[in-house]
C-alpha cells in the first residue's frame, strides 16, 4: 500500500514537472515571437485581412484533433475499449508533453498513460502504426506535390522521357509504401521473438490489430487529417497576404509538411526551422516573406500551443487514473 502511495506521489510530481516544463517552453516561444514583432504584424494584418479565414482555420483545430482522437480510439480497440472523449484527452495530454521533445517524440507518453504496463508497450507500437499511416500520407502527398509543382510551375519544358521516369519512380514508392503499411504484422511478429518482449510476456501478434479493415480506417482518417491541417495552412497563408492560386499554395504546403516531417527539429530551434522552410518555399509565389513567416507561426499557435495549454489540465489529472473498462 505504501509502495503504491509512493508511486502515485512520484507520478504526481513527474506530472507537475512536465506541465511546468511545457508551460515554460510555451512562454519562451511566445516571448520569442513577441520580440520578432509578430504580434504587431498580426494586428496589422487583422485590421485589413479577411478574419473569416482565420476563424475557419481555428475551427478546424477541433476537427484536426478529433480525427486524431478517433484514429487512436480505433488503434486501441483490439487492446482496450476507450471512449472517444478519453482518447481526445489523451491526445491533448500527449501534445503537452511533446512540445519540448525532439520531433514531438514525447506524445506517446500522454497517449498510453491510462493503460497497464503490458498494454502500454503494445499501445506504443500501435502508436507507431498510426504514425506510419500519417507518415505515408505526408510522404506521398509531398512526393506527388513536388512532382506536380515542378512539372507545371517550375520546369514546364522538361523532356517527356525524364518526366516519365520521375512518375515511374513515384509510383514505385507509392506501391512500396502501401505494401509496407499493410504488412506490418510480419514486423511485429519478428519483434515478439525478441528477448525483452518474452521477458515481459508481451505478444505483439494479436491478429485483430492488423485487420485490413482497421488499417484502412486508420489510413482514411490520416488522409482526412492531412487534408485538414494542409487546408489550415492554406487559409492562414491567404489570410496573411500570400496571393497565389489556391492549388499552387496547396502543392507548396505538401512540400512544407514533407520537409518538416523528416527534418529533425528541437524545441529551441523549431521556429528557425519552420521559418527558413517557409521562406524557401513561399518566396516562389510571393514577395511577402513576413506574411509567410506569420502564417506558419499562427499554425503553430493554433495547432500546438493552444492544445498544449488545454492538455496541461489533463496531464495534472493523469495520476492514478486508468480506464475502467476491461481490456480485451
Q: What is the pLDDT of residues 298-324, one digit of tens each?
A: 898 899 888 988 888 877 665 544 444
Instruction: Between 196 and 101, name the one with better pLDDT.
Output: 101
Is the pLDDT reported for residue 286 higher than 60?
yes
Task: List CB contacts of 254: < 8 A, sequence separation 6 or more.
Answer: 141, 142, 144, 145, 146, 230
Instruction: Between 105 and 203, name the one with better pLDDT.
Output: 105
Three-class SS state of 80: strand
Q: Which of 151-155, 240-244, 275-279 has the lowest mean pLDDT?
A: 151-155
Is the pLDDT reported for residue 57 higher than 70?
yes
- Residue in the structure block whose three cell numbers are 484536426: 64
Q: Is the separation of the CB atoms in 79 and 123 below 8 Å?
A: yes
Q: Which of 73-77, 135-139, 231-235, 312-316 has the lowest mean pLDDT?
A: 312-316
User: DSSP secondary-structure letter at 269?
Assistant: G
Is the pLDDT reported for residue 79 higher than 60?
yes
Note the pLDDT of residue 115. Answer: 66
116 pLDDT band (50/70/90 cuts)?
Answer: low
Q: Is the separation of the CB atoms in 181 and 140 below 8 Å?
A: no
Q: Which of 50-64, 190-204, 270-284 has the lowest mean pLDDT?
A: 190-204
Q: What is the CA radius of gyration of the chain?
A: 21
Helix crossing, 117-149 with 51-76: angle to 10°? 140
Note the pLDDT of residue 11. Answer: 45
Task: List CB contacts of 136: < 8 A, sequence separation 6 or more.
Answer: 177, 178, 181, 219, 222
Task: List CB contacts of 156: < 8 A, sequence separation 6 or more.
Answer: none
Task: List CB contacts of 117: < 8 A, sequence separation 6 or more.
Answer: 200
Interatomic CA distance for residues 21 and 234, integer angstroms: 31
Domain ranges of the chain: 2-316
User: DSSP secondary-structure letter at 326?
Assistant: P
Instruction: Between 174 and 158, name the one with better pLDDT.
Output: 174
Q: Which of 188-197, 199-208, 235-244, 289-298 has the lowest mean pLDDT?
A: 199-208
- Residue in the structure block whose three cell numbers are 499562427: 298
Interatomic CA distance for residues 52 and 260, integer angstroms: 27
Tens digit of each residue's pLDDT (9 = 90 or more) over 217-228: 999 999 999 999
Calculate mean pLDDT across residues 61-82. Answer: 90
User: DSSP secondary-structure letter at 105?
Assistant: T
107 pLDDT band (50/70/90 cuts)?
Answer: confident
Tens digit of each residue's pLDDT (9 = 90 or more) over 238-273: 998 898 899 999 999 999 999 888 776 654 456 667
Calculate mean pLDDT across residues 3-30. Answer: 53
Note the pLDDT of residue 255. Answer: 92
Average per-residue pLDDT for the chain = 77
CA distances to 29, 84, 201, 210 from 215, rounded to whole Å, are 37, 18, 25, 7
Interatomic CA distance for residues 135 and 184, integer angstroms: 14
Amino acid at each position: 500500500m505504501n509502495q503504491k502511495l509512493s508511486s502515485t506521489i512520484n507520478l504526481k510530481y513527474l506530472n507537475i514537472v512536465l506541465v511546468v516544463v511545457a508551460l515554460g517552453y510555451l512562454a519562451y516561444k511566445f516571448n520569442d515571437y513577441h520580440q520578432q514583432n509578430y504580434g504587431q504584424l498580426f494586428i496589422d494584418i487583422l485590421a485589413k485581412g479577411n478574419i473569416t479565414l482565420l476563424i475557419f482555420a481555428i475551427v478546424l483545430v477541433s476537427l484536426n484533433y478529433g480525427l486524431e482522437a478517433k484514429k487512436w480510439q480505433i488503434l486501441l480497440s483490439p487492446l482496450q475499449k476507450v471512449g472517444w472523449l478519453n482518447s481526445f484527452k489523451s491526445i491533448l495530454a500527449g501534445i503537452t508533453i511533446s512540445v519540448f521533445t525532439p520531433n514531438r517524440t514525447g506524445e506517446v507518453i500522454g497517449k498510453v498513460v491510462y493503460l497497464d504496463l503490458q498494454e502500454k508497450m503494445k499501445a506504443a507500437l500501435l502508436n507507431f502504426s498510426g504514425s506510419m499511416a500519417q507518415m505515408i500520407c505526408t510522404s506521398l502527398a509531398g512526393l506527388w506535390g513536388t512532382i506536380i509543382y515542378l512539372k507545371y510551375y517550375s520546369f514546364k519544358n522538361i523532356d517527356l522521357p525524364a518526366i516519365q521516369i520521375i512518375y515511374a519512380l513515384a509510383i514505385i514508392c507509392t506501391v512500396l509504401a502501401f505494401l509496407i503499411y499493410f504488412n506490418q504484422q510480419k514486423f511485429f511478429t519478428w519483434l515478439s521473438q525478441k528477448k525483452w518482449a518474452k521477458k515481459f510476456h508481451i505478444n505483439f501478434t494479436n491478429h485483430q490489430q492488423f485487420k485490413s479493415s482497421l488499417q484502412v480506417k486508420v489510413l482514411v482518417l490520416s488522409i482526412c487529417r492531412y487534408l485538414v491541417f494542409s487546408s489550415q495552412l492554406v487559409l492562414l497563408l491567404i489570410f496573411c497576404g500570400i496571393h497565389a492560386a489556391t492549388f499552387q499554395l496547396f502543392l507548396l504546403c505538401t512540400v512544407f509538411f514533407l520537409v518538416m516531417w523528416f527534418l529533425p527539429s528541437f524545441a529551441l530551434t523549431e521556429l528557425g526551422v519552420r521559418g527558413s522552410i517557409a521562406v524557401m518555399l513561399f518566396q516562389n509565389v510571393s514577395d511577402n516573406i513576413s506574411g509567410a513567416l506569420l502564417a506558419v507561426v499562427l499554425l503553430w499557435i493554433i495547432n500546438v500551443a493552444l492544445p498544449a495549454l488545454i492538455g496541461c489540465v489533463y496531464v495534472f489529472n493523469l495520476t492514478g487514473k486508468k480506464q475502467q473498462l476491461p481490456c480485451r
